[in-house]
Amino acid sequence: MTDDRARDLPLDAHLHTDQSPDSDVPIDAYAALAVERGIAELAITDHVDFDARDPAYEYTTFADRERVVRDAAERWAAHGVEVRFGVELTYNRHWEADVRAHLARHRYDFTIGSVHDWPDSPYVPRRVASWVAGQSLSEIVKPYFDEVAAAAQSGLFDTIAHFDVVKRYLYPHVLPADLAAQPELVDPALRAIAESSTGLEINSSGLRHRVGEAYPSAAVVARFRELGGRRVTVGSDGHRADWFAWRLDAAYAAAGAAGFESVMFRRGEAPISVAVPVRFRKPVSAPAQPA
């Protein structure tokens, strides 16, 4: 059972404010909720897009976003909440060079790389039905997961967001259970994330979407660990105040059940670990007592 008012969560590492085109939450609203919920740390990760057809293309400037987040960080530190300056960058191999140039010029505390339904992709709503018709599941999801693997291999990001959000784009033509039945389809992208030492985000927003499960599910998080993955992050991907940390305990639970004792984060320079609350951790089996 999850508890959307859990009070022992240390970090929400994926949040959108009114500096994203699809959110109208003032940054202080999240910080106030964090105080109320005892969540010590937040990463504000507004969208930056690189295709002029995407909504967050030049929506704000780096300077404006940095000023708003750093000012809020100063205001809220005294209340026991650390506000970090992150970003969610929409990745595609077509504009990888632009992402690289952006990150070379601008310094963030924490970077999320995301594959969304890019404008020429088969995953935009008007193309989905014809894309899935007569194709195998492997063919249907391949363009999406190929971009995810490339995002990891680019080495540009601390974490890869909402690993299998393609299940949202394909719903209801493809159901989460269809993907779960063929776990080998996601292995190459999971391996690319593990081998590049990138984090795998466990994004609880899927629990409020029709797919009804996190991006990715707990089973995929466990598979990631089996494949050598050692870094996970957690985020609610809030775009509204009432989505703040929403069912984020389920993300911590998935991390703990897979054997992760901490989540990976960054506060500027080197990666740091944030402990998963003990109640979510996998019980260590006690050594057998001599008779």
Nearest approach, Cβ of residue 141 and Zn ion (Å): 17
CB 273 within 8 A of CB 231: no
**Tokens 């949040």 identify what position?**
15
30: number of Cβ within 10 Å: 27
Closest CA relative to residue 215, chosen from 256, 181, 186: 186
Specify the stretch interacting with Zn ion by CB under 5 A; choose among 50-58, 109-117, 127-135, 246-254. 109-117
Closest CA relative to residue 199, chosen from 141, 101, 266, 118: 266
* Contact string (CB under 5 A) for Zn ion, positions 233-252, x = contact: ----x---------------
Nearest approach, Cβ of residue 239 and Zn ion (Å): 7
Nearest approach, Cβ of residue 28 and Zn ion (Å): 19
Of the residues 46, 54, 88, 109, which one makes contact with Zn ion according to CB under 5 A: 88
How far is the C-alpha of 194 from the C-alpha of 152, rounded, in Å?
Answer: 9
Residue nearest to Zn ion (CB): 114
Closest CA relative to residue 231, chosen from 269, 267, 259, 207: 259
Nearest approach, Cβ of residue 11 and Zn ion (Å): 15
Give whichever of 41 and 237 is closer to Zn ion, judged by the CB atom: 237
Give whichever of 239 and 267 is closer to Zn ion, judged by the CB atom: 239
- For residues 192-225, b (16+ Cβ closer than 10 Å) or e, as one string? bbbebebbbbbbbbbbbeebebbbbbbebbbbbb
- For residues 32-43, b (16+ Cβ closer than 10 Å) or e, as one string? bbbeebebebbb
Residues 264-283 that bind Zn ion (CB under 5 A): none
* Length reported for the chain: 291
* C-alpha torsion angle, residues 24, 58, 101, 152 (rounded to 10): 40
Longest CA–CA span in the chain (Å) reads 71
147 is an interface residue for Zn ion by CB under 5 A: no
Specify the stretch interacting with Zn ion by CB under 5 A; choose among 87-95, 211-219, 271-279, 280-288. 87-95
Give whichever of 193 and 281 is closer to Zn ion, judged by the CB atom: 193
Nearest approach, Cβ of residue 115 and Zn ion (Å): 8
Give residues with Cβ within 8 angstroms of 163, minimum separation 6. 148, 186, 189, 190, 193, 200, 201, 203, 215, 216, 220
Nearest approach, Cβ of residue 133 and Zn ion (Å): 27
Specify the stretch interacting with Zn ion by CB under 5 A; choose among 29-37, 128-136, 231-239, 270-278. 231-239
Specify the stretch interacting with Zn ion by CB under 5 A; choose among 30-38, 114-122, 183-191, 225-233. 114-122
Nearest approach, Cβ of residue 123 and Zn ion (Å): 13
114 is an interface residue for Zn ion by CB under 5 A: yes
213 is an interface residue for Zn ion by CB under 5 A: no
Give whichever of 54 and 88 is closer to Zn ion, judged by the CB atom: 88
Q: Which positions touch Zn ion (CB under 5 A)?
A: 88, 114, 237
